Amino acid sequence: MLSAVSIFSGCGGSDYGLRMAGFDILMANDISRYACKTYKLNMPETQVICCDISEKSKFPKADLLIGCYPCQGFSQGGVRDPNRNINYLYREFDRVLRIIKPKAFIVENVSGMLRSNNYYLLRNQVIRFRMAGYIVAGPQILNAYEFGVPQTRKRVFIVGIKSDLGIKYKFPQPTHGPNGIRKGVTQRDVLEGMPEWPEGEFYDEDFHWYYLSRNRRRDWDEPSATILSNPRHMPLHPISPPLIKYDENDWRFAYKSPARRFSYKESALLQGFSRGFKFAEGSLIEKYKAIGNAVPPPLFRAVTEALPNIW
């Protein structure tokens, strides 16, 4: 079986997709204790190292290295500050890449990385990976909805193949939605049959003015808006009343009726996880954060399966 090492693994979204693509994940790493506990529940065969990656110097040899390093300084949903140290974790990925020397690597990040004021950091990543001995493809934006995920979620991918193999990676073409050959997956497709008001499983604080500064609701037969790690900003479940725009940054419910955000279990389904995915004991905030930071498994599977037969 093909082997992989995963760093900045989170609760295992990318790795769940990697496993579906036929890879044996030898080692996974993340700094979040909750994410590591959830990972172990779902993929117990993988060695999970829970620590700061900078503290780790030995790694198993593997065919593939993957990493989805944090980047809150570039995220639309975070504090957009490109000077934060967390935005330079790609240097740790580069360090591990040079230790393992896999035949290929895959990196995933938020689409905000492509904004003009951040582009120098993105360019620096590509330069480093080339200097490490790889033919680099990307950065390329892919929308998870176009690969069978019931959510519009745009993410940046960078893929590299060892230079001595002389092959450049080609990104997969959309399989779902208007640009694919299959119908896009909707909220109804994955949420049907789930309880309407799952007590204790959703964030039930008031909808503050910032939350109502945009349309947070999609209909049943549409994909969800992007699932976020901050539960305060989680999109509305389609049982909620529609939102009507009154003014710039001013949306209001069309009529008085109960409304709620997605539960953490619904958020996981909208990220492309299966109903059998397990969550470790922890707070509601921890669960939402782990899910919102994850890579949709079907999207990562598609990117992985597009790798040429270099093994």
- pLDDT at res. 89: 87
Instruction: Examine residue 139 and say whether the peptide bond preceding it is cis (omega within 30 degrees of 0).
Output: yes
Query: What is the rounded CA–CA span in Å between residue 245 and residue 253?
Result: 9
Averaged pLDDT of the chain: 93
Whether 201 is in a domain gets the answer no
- pLDDT at res. 78: 47
Whether 269 is in a domain gets the answer no
* SS3 at position 86: helix
| 233 pLDDT more than 80 | yes
**CATH number, domain containing residue 58:** 3.40.50.150
Looking at the 3D structure of the chain, how many domains does it have? 1
Whether 151 is in a domain gets the answer yes
- pLDDT at res. 127: 95
Whether 91 is in a domain gets the answer yes
Could you tell me where the DSSP H helices lie in 137-202? Answer: 187-191
| 115 pLDDT more than 50 | yes
- pLDDT at res. 120: 80
Q: What percent of the chain has pLDDT over 70?
A: 94
Whether 188 is in a domain gets the answer no
| 30 pLDDT more than 70 | yes
Q: pLDDT for 268-305, tens place per residue? A: 999 999 999 999 999 999 999 999 999 999 999 999 99
- Mind telling me the catalytic residues? 71
Q: pLDDT for 173-191, tens place per residue? A: 999 999 999 999 999 999 9
The one-letter code for the residue type at 10 is G
Whether 261 is in a domain gets the answer no
Mean pLDDT calculated for residue range 192-199: 95
Q: Print the domain residue range for 122.
A: 2-179+291-305
Q: pLDDT for 32-43, tens place per residue? A: 999 999 999 999
Whether 106 is in a domain gets the answer yes
Whether 253 is in a domain gets the answer no
71 pLDDT band, cuts 50/70/90, is low
- Rounded to 10 deg, the angle between the 119-131 and 90-100 helix axes is 10
- pLDDT at res. 116: 64
